[in-house]
Amino acid sequence: MAIQLSDHFTYKKLLRFCFPPIMMMVFTSIYGVVDGFFVSNYVGKTPFAAINLVMPFIMILGGVGFMIGTGGSALVAKTIGMNEKSNANRYFTMMIILTIICGIVLSFIGITFIRPIAYLLGATDAMIDDCVLYGRIAMSFNTAFMLQNVFQTFLSAAEKPKLGLAATVAAGITNMALDGLFIAVFKWGVAGAALATGISECIGGILPFIYFLFPNSSLLRLTKTKLEGKILLKACINGSSELMSNISGSIISMLYNMQLLKFAGENGVAAYGVIMYVQFIFIAIFIGYTIGASPIVGYHYGAKNYSELKNILQKSLLLMCIAGITMKLLAHIFAAPLANIFVGYDNGLFDMTKHAFKIFSFSFILAGINIYTSSFFTALNNGGISAAISFLRTLVFQMLSILLLPQFFGLEGIWWTNTVAEVFAFIISQSFLIAKRKKYHY
């Protein structure tokens, strides 16, 4: 029997509903890792460092899709809970139109200014051509990338999380196959990596678009509507925490790269690139869970079913705690083999990467709770608190840590940055949960 947003959720039912978006995000992360594997092993560590240097900027542009998707799906889920299906379809359609418009505009901006931006990010003369080439090709597919991000959240709100997983698997297999063909066989280097990713994003973004364009068995479909500034602004403000996370994460990545160039040179940037690729897989589990759980929260909040709201929150916090501890242990055990996959050809770089990842992985213990708490407030349509948690967690605390810790502990301080930031973010996120418990009756 299909699970509906209106159901009472046991642990089993909650995990069943959230499993497809979890696997969707994990799969997305894995094919990102495959990109890094092929570039690092078949093209070289300098091109690999170049991609990692420009990637934060690409993610900022794509992050607009996460903002529209998370904020919009929370609004749509709440509207469905209020039994206003016609409005839900209109709001959903507005979000897709807005995504396409923003995607085209941001692509043009990115392609035009990628060279000066790459220099601003710290690109060396040896890296700049690869930065520009990869960046321009990748940003040509930015609209598809944004649509993929948007549909990942809306497919859960439409009670079709398995369809989201199928689209992501199809995109991922395409990316992996084309990486091998373009990079290992055709020797197209970073251009091949960018093309492989872009083509896969088209599959992940366009297939769901076609599904929603026609009558279907989900809760949502695209329909005729006019853009309403008030609705779009409300959704974007509510989803601003996710955009803030992407922007902040990208800014912090830039600071990481600048500090690492200072303290460890290109090897430091390459090591950090490996850690980022691998940690995407671990963090993807948390993000996937929030994608699945958020529409449930939004629905029951709209329906004023506060007992179920409390039930989802309690179960989710416990699951995030267990998952965080488990991931820390797995990261410690598999640090060496994971580092070996990317940089086993360079002993010094391998040792640095393995050591850094073991330290970095302490951040997983609290990251899931912090990520879920922020998304919980987004689902409650309280974008202000959600954005505050994300802003402090991903920008303020990390920026202070990355700038101050290396002054006292050198390179070691850089690797501890994430963990220190997550500790302070945990204090803030739990304070908000306690302070707002009476307002939202959870």
Residue 112 within any structural domain of the chain: yes
Q: Which of 205, 242, 244 is nearest to 67 (CA)?
A: 242
Q: Which long-range contacts (CB under 8 A, 24 or more apart) does 38-44 make?
A: 38/179, 38/180, 38/183, 38/184, 38/193, 39/183, 39/189, 39/190, 39/193, 40/270, 40/274, 40/342, 40/343, 41/342, 41/345, 42/183, 42/184, 42/187, 43/183, 43/189, 43/190, 43/193
Residue 6 within any structural domain of the chain: no
Residue 79 within any structural domain of the chain: yes
246 or 87: which leads in pLDDT = 87
Residue 5 within any structural domain of the chain: no
Identify the weakest region by mean pLDDT among 341-350, 375-384, 396-405.
Answer: 341-350
Side chain identity at residue 133, one-letter code? L
Q: pTM score, two decimals? A: 0.80
pLDDT at 241 over 80: no
Residue 247 within any structural domain of the chain: yes
Residue 235 within any structural domain of the chain: yes
Residue 168 within any structural domain of the chain: yes
Number of domains in the chain: 1
Calculate mean pLDDT across residues 34-57: 84
Q: What is the mean pLDDT of the chain?
A: 90
pLDDT tens for 170-217 read 998 999 899 999 999 999 999 999 999 999 999 999 999 999 999 899
pLDDT at 131 over 90: yes
Residue 1 within any structural domain of the chain: no
* Confidence bin at 303 (pLDDT 50/70/90): very high
pLDDT tens for 2-24 read 788 989 999 999 999 999 999 88
Determine the structural domain holding residue 42 and report its residue range.
11-436
